[in-house]
A = this chain, B = another copy of it.
Amino acid sequence: MIHMNILEAMKALSNQTRLSILQNLREPEKHFPPQDEGDVTIDGVCVGSIQEGIGMSQSTTSTYLASLQRAGLVTSKRMGGWTYYKRNEANIQKLIELLSKEL
């Protein structure tokens, strides 16, 4: 597991849209349509579905997901032509613990 960095995580979460993406991915079946391949909870949600969910441009959506990934909050998996993003629960838990101890 990557060593979580509080500041980087706070920066990634200091934007309403990025915060919502992470929160919506908590219950993906509730916020995103079924994916053509794979399970929305196990494999993740593709960029296009997330884009529809947040109502922003494709480039912005992709940039935001990359930002969340750099902060260690989500992981991505390429399957065919699609990239599926899901929460990195272990790191999110680690972040909460870090904040409990060091904030």
A1 interface contact, C-beta 8 A: no
> In the assembled complex, which residues on chain B have CB atoms less than 8 Å from the CB atom of A10?
10, 13-14, 19
Considering residues A11, A22, A92, A95, which has the most beta carbons from chain B within 10 angstroms of its beta carbon? A11
Considering the chains assembled together, what is the distance between the CA atoms of A84 and B95 in angstroms?
Answer: 30
Contact of A23 among B92, B95, B100, B102 (CB under 8 A): B102
A103-B23 CB under 8 A given contacts A14-B14, A96-B96: yes
Q: Decide yes or no: A14 and B11 within 8 Å by CB, A92-B103, A99-B99, A103-B96 being known contacts.
A: yes
A7 within 8 A of B: yes
Q: Which B residues lie within 8 Å of A60 (CB)?
A: none
Q: Which of B11, B22, B100 sits near A103, CB closer than 8 Å?
A: B22
Q: Which residues in A have some Cβ–Cβ distance to B below 8 Å? A: 6-7, 10-11, 13-14, 16, 19, 22-23, 92, 95-96, 99-100, 102-103
